[in-house]
Structures are given as C-alpha cells and as structure tokens.
Amino acid sequence: MNKCPICGNPFPCLDHAASTTTSKAARNRVVLAAAVAAVLLTVLSGCNEKHSEPFKDAPRSGTDNGAPADVIRMPDGFSNAATKCDHGNRLYIAYHGDSPYAAVAVVAQDPTCR
C-alpha cells in the first residue's frame, strides 16, 4: 500500500496532497529549467568565429605582413577568395562555407608582386 512521503499515512493523505502536488510541480520546473540551460549551453558553445581567432596555431617569426588583402567576392554558392603578395609571391586563399580549413594556392615570384 502506498504511503504519504511526508507523514507516512496511507494514500490518499488529504493533509499533504497540496504539498506533494506543489513539490512535483516545482521539481518539473527545475527539470525543465535545467534542460533549457543545457540546450542553450550546447548551442552557444557551438558557435564558431574562425575570423576572429587570435594567432595560436604556430610560432611567429616577428615579420608581420599586415597589408590588406584583395577580396574576390563570388556569387552565392561559390567561395569568396582573398589574394595578397608576400615576399614576391602571390597567395590565393579561399574558405568553403564555414569550414575551418582553407584552400591555398601560391604563384611563386609573381611579377605583379614587386
């Protein structure tokens, strides 16, 4: 036979029926809030901002080519690209969507990079 969790009397315990219902409702609210927090944490931690990452992938030589790159904008469905000169070589870099890796092409000793 089931007993009241508060006083131990057999069910239905009319003295504590409201408090057990309230505790179930409160527990449901806590479980719902925890589930919402877990979903929000998962979604927000999955955001990728590769364009604002600091230099953290390799040691740096101290030589900084901070000159702006020429951006080549392509129509929707195609990857945009950027090009710039570095030490006489022309670099072409293209990301595909939000991929963390880029395609890189180098034109060695490009005559337009003087």
Condensed to tens digits (0 to 9), the pLDDT of residues 64-96 reads 888 899 999 989 888 889 999 998 999 999 987
Q: Are 36 and 54 in a shared domain?
A: no
Entry pTM: 0.46
Residues 90 and 54 in one domain: yes
Domain that holds residue 10: 1-47
Distance CA 22, CA 18 (A): 6
Residues 3 and 26 in one domain: yes
Domain membership of residue 113 (yes or no) is no
Q: Are residues 40 and 75 in the same domain?
A: no
- pLDDT at position 61 is 78
Let me know if residue 112 belongs to a domain.
no
- Look at residue 12 in the predicted model and tell me its pLDDT: 64
| Number of domains observed in the structure of the chain | 2
For residue 79, what are the contacts with CB-CB under 8 A and spacing of at least 6? Answer: 94, 95, 96, 97, 103
Query: Looking at the domain assignment, is residue 77 inside a domain?
Result: yes
Same domain, residue pair 5 and 36: yes
From start to end of the chain, where are the E strands? 70-72, 81-86, 89-95, 102-107
Considering the domain boundaries, does residue 3 fall inside one? yes
Residues 54 and 27 placed together within one structural domain of the fold:
no
The predicted-structure confidence for 50-65, as pLDDT tens digits, reads as follows 556 665 667 777 788 8
For 8-66, the pLDDT digits (tens) are 777 666 666 655 556 778 888 889 999 999 888 877 766 666 556 665 667 777 788 88
pLDDT at 88: 92
Give the C-alpha separation, 73 to 59, whole Å: 31
Q: Are residues 4 and 33 in the same domain?
A: yes
